Structure 1
Amino acid sequence: MSGTDRISQLPDTVLTQILSYRPTKEAVRTCLFSEQWRDVWASVPVLDFDFADFWSDDIFIRYENKIYATFFQARKKAIYVCEQSECHNNFVRFIDTVLDQRQAQPIERFRLVWQYQVKPYREIDHPVGRWVLRVLQQSPRVLSIYVQPNLINIDVPNLAFTCSSLEEMKLHIDNNTRLEVLNPVSFSLPHLRKLNLGYFKIGGNSMNDLLLGCPNLEELELYACELDLSHISCGNLKSLAIAGCCCHSAEIRVSIPSLQYLEVAVVSCQTEGFFF
């Protein structure tokens, strides 16, 4: 029969699987379709938030209005991001509302991309720290965070480094002024297989504790980090990528007998090199 809504006739489990491949903003909109779709989105185990989905016409302003804006460095033209735009407020309210309405529903994958953040927030109550903590309490398998906070550090919850359910994690905190210091109270990620850290200061003790606390780690990527360590040693690591990092030790010795893939591209190096 023509005009039949066959998608809505699918079981909720199938609808949930379909929505898990879409950004969360699109998944929430499906509640307008029908009674059946109203609560389906709240059971989707994948949450995907990108600030670019919330841009409006007032977010970018011309060069001559720069007194009211912050420079948008990623573009070649003299374009600025307006601090007075409602995009940031809408983004924060949406994520808070989604997390509130989901209540105790499990989260398998959580992805957050918040670039060009110009609205000021205080370090002690920055929304990213609050969101990450709430998500980690739901025992996710995958956590992916890339944010550009406005000239402040974000306090990454220690639970990010002790969440036993995590299998993959990406943490990039790019505030353009100073790097986050990787120094949690403890490392204990027994099931973590992939780790991608960006914009961190990493000392030798932190690296040692990290690798000891991740006994099943297979892939490690360090991007735009400041490395102050003398060696990297891991028995089961298969992939190591060091890109855009600054190295300060006299030399860095690498002992990874299971290594299958290696990429090293440093931007500043005060070492004699990497010794394998």
Structure 2
Amino acid sequence: MCSKSNSQNIQGHRISELPDAVLCHILSFIPTKYSVRTSILSTRWKSIWASVPNLDFEFEQMSTTWKEEYMSNYVGFFMFVDRVLSLRDSLDIQKFRLHCYYRVEDFSRIVGWICTAIRHNVVELDLCVYSDNIVCPTFELPQCVFMCKTLVVLKVKSNCITYGLPTSGCFPRLKFLDVKVEYPEDDSMEKLFSCCPVLEDLSINATVRDLLVLMFKVSAPELKRLRMTFVSAYLVSKDHEYDISINAPKLENLDIKQDCLSIYLFENFKYLVKGSVDLYSHYEQEWNDASERTTALLEAP
């Protein structure tokens, strides 16, 4: 027993003797709430967590009633994020991950967190933000996100975020975009997917209202991989279709998953080497159209 205890102490001391950069790298693989807890281990560990390049905050506990215990956890989470960000000083942030539900009145705090990450030269921004209100007001992604000169990876899943893009200078370094859009509009989607001059990897996951004809264009000169998933909010009808134009001269991989096949128009396809089409639902009224669209899709490249 004593021998085992001594062995564990030796291992613990060896870890503490590692350089700060190595310890920060190790802590970057765990959620921030756990890396902060290492501060109580010893004086050596007291401030290591504050230099970790990755910040990972998650509060996905959702409740239909704001009971005392839930509210306490919710308030504690928001205070924790505020506190951690206030102690970052001038240190850069490599990755900022925020997954949480929020009340409408706390919307401004989330915007503030996002802007703080941008000011700290964030490279990867991963947002999964949902309002507690079913009929929730929307808010625009801060303009600083679009203009960020260090951002390379952007992931957004939300039922409340919209995209009011500036007229120029968007995403100068963004190479990976993964976005989930609920009930998209033509112009907002087209602007978002066509304002990334160096984008190489694009994933689109859209939930679309019934009785909607959705038309938009993806235009990305450096795009190499494109994944598109479209889900109908209700039963697919004859009045429900997507008309999608893709201009990606360097596209190599195309992955399509839909309930009913869209009308596709391809431009400048020269390097496509792999394609996947998954029609996970099929309706009788679409049979004739599906046959024609499938033929057109296979012939296009």
Deviates more, 1:27-36 or 1:43-52: 43-52
Partner of 1:62: none
Q: Give secondary structure in 2 for the equivalent of 1:254.
A: strand
Deviates more, 1:14-23 or 1:227-236: 227-236
| Higher alpha-carbon Rg | 2
User: What is the aligned-residue identity percentage?
Assistant: 29
Partner of 2:163: 182
Instruction: Report the Cα offset of residue 181 of structure 1.
Output: 3.5
Partner of 1:235: 221
- Comparing both structures, which one devotes a greater share of its residues to helix? 2
> Residue 105 of structure 2 is aligned with which of 114, 122, 136?
122
* 2:36 aligned partner, one-letter code: V
> Is there any run of 5+ residues in structure 2 with no aligned partner, and where?
1-5, 233-238, 267-301
Question: Is the alpha carbon distance of 1:250 and 1:43 closer, same or farther for their aligned partners in structure 2, counting shifts above 3 Å?
Answer: closer
Question: Is the alpha carbon distance of 1:212 and 1:222 closer, same or farther for their aligned partners in structure 2, counting shifts above 3 Å?
Answer: closer
Which whole-Å CA distance do the structure 2 matches of 1:200 and 1:136 have between them? Answer: 25
Deviations 1:45-83 (A, max 9, x none): 10011115xx6xxx7xxxxxxxxx61xxxxxxxxxx644
Partner of 2:277: none
Deviates more, 1:146-155 or 1:187-196: 146-155
Question: Is the alpha carbon distance of 1:267 and 1:133 closer, same or farther for their aligned partners in structure 2, counting shifts above 3 Å?
Answer: farther
Partner of 1:9: 17
Q: Give secondary structure in 1 for the equivalent of 2:87.
A: helix
Instruction: Report the Cα offset of residue 101 of structure 1.
Output: 1.4
Deviates more, 1:35-44 or 1:240-249: 240-249
Instruction: Report the Cα offset of residue 232 of structure 1.
Output: 2.2
Q: TM-score, normalised by structure 1?
A: 0.77
Q: Tell me the matched-pair count.
A: 242
Which whole-Å CA distance do the structure 2 matches of 1:198 and 1:211 have between them? Answer: 12
> Residue 173 of structure 1 is aligned with which of 152, 155, 158?
158
Which whole-Å CA distance do the structure 1 matches of 2:141 and 2:240 have between them? Answer: 25
Question: Is the alpha carbon distance of 1:16 and 1:133 closer, same or farther for their aligned partners in structure 2, counting shifts above 3 Å?
Answer: same
Instruction: Report the Cα offset of residue 131 of structure 1.
Output: 0.7
**RMSD (CA atoms):** 2.7
Which whole-Å CA distance do the structure 1 matches of 2:97 and 2:196 have between them? Answer: 21
Partner of 1:39: 47
